[in-house]
Amino acid sequence: MINLAILISGRGSNMEAILRAIKKKKIPVKPAIVISNKPDAKGLKIAQKLGVKTAVVESLGLKGGSWEYDQKLVAALEENNVTPKNGLVCLAGFMRIMSPEFIKHYKGRILNIHPAILPAFPGLHSQKQAVEYGVKYSGCTVHFVDEGVDTGPIILQAIVKVKDSDTEESLSKKILKQEHKIYPKAVRLFAEGKIRTKGRKTAIS
């Protein structure tokens, strides 16, 4: 069975959606550990309530993309038996860029959720960017993590309609509902070995 780690920085609603699906036996993985880089992340309490072990690996000024920080993450993950052989690392609102070394270590075993239809609006404040740009549709993307920012092979996407009256807040809410559907689904597909990757493309069997 796959040992799952979820990395968070805040609210943890995607983490919660995944953990609840696991509890309902919809995803065949073992939730090994939830790690936050922020000690006050709300998601930590939610994970504990759901009976999942938590840890904090504080950034302490170490910049995103630094191997020095990510080495501490690897140590915490491997202590909890989340390895490159049996592990899956889900970034769920983890607001740090991963180092190339970390990505190489867990190659093909790191997923991320992004609140836009990639490759549109990568990076931060995607929902605000979408509203300001005037797009008629936006949504969310689950993708493998590679060395770029939000550039890895796409696994699943979901679309929402953007109304003229939508604000960053209302659009974020609509998108989040879809995130909570597609992230658990993508984790399930991974756990069931149903995702094949060839270059940039993934195929789901």
Q: Which residues have a catalytic role annotated?
A: 114
Identify the bridge partners of residue 138 per DSSP, sorted by sequence position: 160
Report the nearest approach of ligand GAR to the CB of residue 7 (Å). 10
Report the nearest approach of ligand GAR to the CB of residue 59 (Å). 16
CA distances from 25 to 18, 33, 138, 188 (A): 11, 17, 30, 10
Report the nearest approach of ligand GAR to the CB of residue 129 (Å). 11
Which residue, 83 or 168, is less far from ligand GAR as judged by CB? 168
Which residue, 49 or 196, is less far from ligand GAR as judged by CB? 49
Q: Which stretch binds ligand GAR (CB under 6 A): 10-18, 19-27, 152-160, 196-204?
A: 10-18
Tokens of 141: 């993307």
Q: Which stretch binds ligand GAR (CB under 6 A): 49-57, 78-86, 112-120, 185-193?
A: 112-120
Pairing of strands 54-56, 195-198: unpaired
| Count of residues touching ligand GAR (by CB under 6 A) | 15
Contacting residue, 11, 38, 174, 188, with ligand GAR by CB under 6 A: 11
- Is the distance from CB of 117 to CB of 177 less than 8 angstroms? no
- Helices and strands, counts by H and E, the chain: 6, 9
Report the nearest approach of ligand GAR to the CB of residue 68 (Å). 22
Q: Which of residues 126-145 bind ligand GAR (CB under 6 A)?
A: 126
Contacting residue, 70, 146, 166, 179, with ligand GAR by CB under 6 A: 179
Q: List helix spans (H) across the chain.
A: 13-23, 42-49, 67-79, 100-105, 126-133, 168-191
10 part of the interface to ligand GAR, by CB under 6 A: yes
- Is the distance from CB of 73 to CB of 50 less than 8 angstroms? no
